[in-house]
């Protein structure tokens, strides 16, 4: 099983892409601007999209994906998300005002998009790959994901702040190999991180102190213009865990 990072920035500009990951060839984890770097033939192979939450940096490519390749496919693209997130997408994005409702195109029986509600802790399985929604603590309903090959697991926290329920789940995993965790702001902006329910380096260290199982740590969602400062503070605050910055196009085999 292979996970490729299509985007991992907290913003855009130059070669920066927002959050999106491609699992093998057919599953997206979030649909930020990084999806746009895939070729059309690669886009047409995507059968499933797992959304962490409804913010634009995580869903902005979903409408374009549906519009670009829907007519090339003989089955719907399945959008997996919580009931709350699905309701937001229906009301505020695929509402015929911002974008057509591709759950009704060409008709409700044969749509381009089909929604599949998911629940925390309930595994979804595809050919030996298991994806499970994990708790997140953000300003809108949100989840993270555990991606499990059977041999090893990768955890992506999604956007989150202090989150004890997440660590309760993570610490029960007996095959955790990788942990991708956000750190959106530098320490000087800790108040903003708290208000917007993100992390800063000092908060990251506080969260990682709750981790009881070994894992390689990767930091994502860094804000453009503050990357070097934030990573320097991450290395100072959380040196014990040897965190590294997640890179665009990075590949995880597990």
Domain CATH number, residue 200: 3.60.15.10
pTM of the full predicted structure?
Answer: 0.97
- pLDDT bin (cut points 50, 70, 90) of residue 116 is very high
- Residue 123: its pLDDT value, please? 98
- The model's pLDDT over 158-173, given as tens digits with 9 standing for 90+, comes to 999 999 999 999 999 9
189-224 b/e (C-beta count within 10 Å ≥ 16 → b): bbeebeeebbbbbbbbbebbeebeeebebbbbbbbe
DSSP tag of 197: T
Mean pLDDT of the chain: 98
Give the whole-angstrom CA distance, residue 14 versus residue 119: 37
How confident is the model over 218-230, as a mean pLDDT?
Answer: 98
Nearest to 10 by CA among 62, 64, 61, 56: 56
- The model's pLDDT over 170-197, given as tens digits with 9 standing for 90+, comes to 999 999 999 999 999 999 999 999 999 9
How confident is the model over 236-250, as a mean pLDDT?
Answer: 98
Provide the domain count of the chain: 1
Give the whole-angstrom CA distance, residue 124 versus residue 131: 5
Element (H, E) at 113: strand 113-117
Residues making up the chain, counted from first to last: 254
- Residue 11: its pLDDT value, please? 97
Question: What phi and psi, each to the nearest 5 degrees, are found at residue 251?
Answer: -120, 135
- pLDDT bin (cut points 50, 70, 90) of residue 125 is very high
How confident is the model over 28-55, as a mean pLDDT?
Answer: 98
CB 154 within 8 A of CB 181: no
196's tokens: 């917007």
How confident is the model over 83-102, as a mean pLDDT?
Answer: 98
Distance of CA 161 to the CA centre of its chain: 15
- pLDDT bin (cut points 50, 70, 90) of residue 30 is very high
Q: What is the span of the domain harbouring residue 127?
A: 2-253
- Residue 202: its pLDDT value, please? 98
57's tokens: 């940096």
């Amino acid at each position: 099983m292979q996970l490729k990072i299509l985007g991992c920035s907290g913003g855009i500009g130059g070669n920066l892409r927002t959050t999106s990951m491609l699992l093998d060839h057919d599953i997206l984890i979030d649909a930020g601007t990084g999806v746009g770097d895939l070729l059309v033939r690669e886009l047409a192979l995507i059968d499933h999209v797992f959304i962490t939450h409804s913010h634009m940096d995580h869903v902005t490519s979903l409408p374009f994906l549906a519009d670009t390749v829907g007519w090339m496919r003989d089955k719907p693209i399945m959008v997996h998300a919580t009931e709350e997130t699905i309701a937001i997408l229906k009301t505020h994005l695929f509402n015929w005002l911002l974008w057509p409702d591709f759950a009704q195109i060409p008709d409700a029986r044969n749509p381009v998009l089909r929604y599949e509600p998911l629940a925390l802790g309930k595994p979804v399985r595809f050919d030996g790959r298991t994806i499970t929604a994990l708790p997140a603590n953000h300003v809108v309903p949100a989840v993270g994901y555990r991606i499990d090959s059977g041999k090893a697991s990768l955890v992506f926290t999604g956007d989150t702040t202090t989150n004890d329920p997440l660590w309760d789940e993570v610490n029960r995993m007996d095959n955790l190999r990788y942990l991708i965790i956000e750190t959106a702001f530098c320490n000087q902006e800790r108040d903003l991180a708290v208000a917007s329910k993100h992390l800063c380096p000092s908060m990251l260290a506080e969260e990682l102190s709750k981790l009881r199982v070994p894992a390689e740590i990767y930091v994502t969602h860094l804000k453009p213009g503050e990357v070097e400062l934030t990573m320097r503070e991450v290395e100072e605050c959380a040196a014990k865990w040897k965190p590294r910055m997640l890179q665009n196009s990075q590949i995880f085999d597990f």
